[in-house]
Amino acid sequence: MALFGNAHTIDPVAAQQDYARLLGHDERVHAAYLLIRDTILFTDRRLVLIDKQGLTGKKVEYHSIPYKSITHFAVETAGTFDLDAELKIWISGTPAPIQKTFTKGVDIYEVQAILTQFVAR
């Protein structure tokens, strides 16, 4: 399903190892998702969006979003004919949300629970 541009779950332990250089001391990855070449990490401190750019993907942009900057979020579940679930996150000072699409195989309720756990602190 990654070929269709939708996110799918990847092992948080593997993501912890793969992106160790990005993480702070004792920061832990709780969930991770892959979107073709891009990655979304939910850590215990922040949301990290890893955006590989260009044809080769050698140029990478890292977005670090502290959970306290998230003003609200929404999830849209997959339907019978719509196989995608969507996550929208609004960041303070930014009018348009960040939008990510997940395959039907991803438990969007789990994604919502992770955000709730960290945003509602």
CB 7 within 8 A of CB 100: yes
pLDDT by residue for the chain (121 residues), tens only, comes to 344 455 678 899 999 999 999 999 999 999 999 877 788 999 999 999 998 887 777 889 999 999 999 999 998 887 766 677 888 999 999 999 998 887 766 788 888 899 999 998 7
Question: CA-based angle 42:44:46, to the nearest 5?
Answer: 60
pLDDT at 9: 85
pLDDT at 82: 65
pLDDT at 4: 46
96 φ, ψ to 5°?
-95, 140
pLDDT at 43: 96
Strand residue runs (E) in the chain: 8-10, 29-35, 38-43, 46-53, 59-66, 70-76, 84-91, 98-103
Distance, C-alpha 11 to centroid of its chain: 13
Output the pTM of the full model.
0.83
